[in-house]
């Protein structure tokens, strides 16, 4: 295989992986869903500054990429619950690696009670 062709295929794969977390909220929604299934309003409360439109858009985007499931539960009123698909579960290690890179190489240290904080990556 030509090296340039291999590099091109590599870049295409990376672009596809980055497409999943494009935008401001995708990373946070995936991180939240990695903790377990969530209802729409539950996510809105947990993501304090997100608008209804932004959350709706990011959920549709993630559903389109098949990393989350949308399950409608026939209650009154209707309940909608979101969870990670197998594909979404496999994305979690990617997010952890991104966090580790940011902790090691980011310009802004995480501060907790005025001290630098490095979170555990072995969860």
Q: What is the pLDDT of residues 101-122, one digit of tens each?
A: 888 887 766 655 555 554 443 4
Q: What is the pLDDT of residues 60-79, one digit of tens each?
A: 999 999 999 999 999 998 99
Q: In what order do the strands lie in the sheet with 79-84?
A: 38-39, 79-84, 68-73
DSSP category for residue 34:
T
Cα 12 to the center of its chain, rounded Å: 20
| CATH of region 5-98, choose from 3.20.20.105, 1.10.10.10, 3.30.930.10, 3.60.150.10 | 1.10.10.10
Q: pLDDT-derived band of residue 42, with 50, 70 and 90 as boundaries?
A: very high
| Structure confidence at residue 121 (pLDDT) | 39
- Judged against a pLDDT cut of 70, whether residue 14 lies above it is answered with yes
Instruction: Find where tokens 């698909």 sit.
Output: 85
Q: What is the mean pLDDT of residues 7-16?
A: 85
């Amino acid at each position: 295989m030509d090296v340039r062709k291999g590099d091109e295929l590599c870049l295409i794969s990376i672009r596809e992986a980055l497409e999943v977390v494009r935008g401001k909220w995708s990373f946070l929604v995936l991180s939240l869903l990695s903790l377990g299934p969530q209802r729409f309003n539950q996510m809105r409360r947990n993501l304090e500054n997100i608008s209804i439109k932004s959350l709706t858009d990011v959920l549709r985007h993630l559903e389109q990429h098949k990393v989350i499931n949308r399950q409608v539960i026939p209650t009154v009123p209707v309940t909608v619950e979101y969870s990670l698909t197998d594909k979404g579960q496999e994305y979690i290690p990617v997010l952890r690696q991104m966090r580790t890179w940011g902790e090691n190489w980011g310009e802004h240290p995480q501060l907790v009670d005025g001290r630098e904080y490095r979170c555990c990556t072995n969860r």
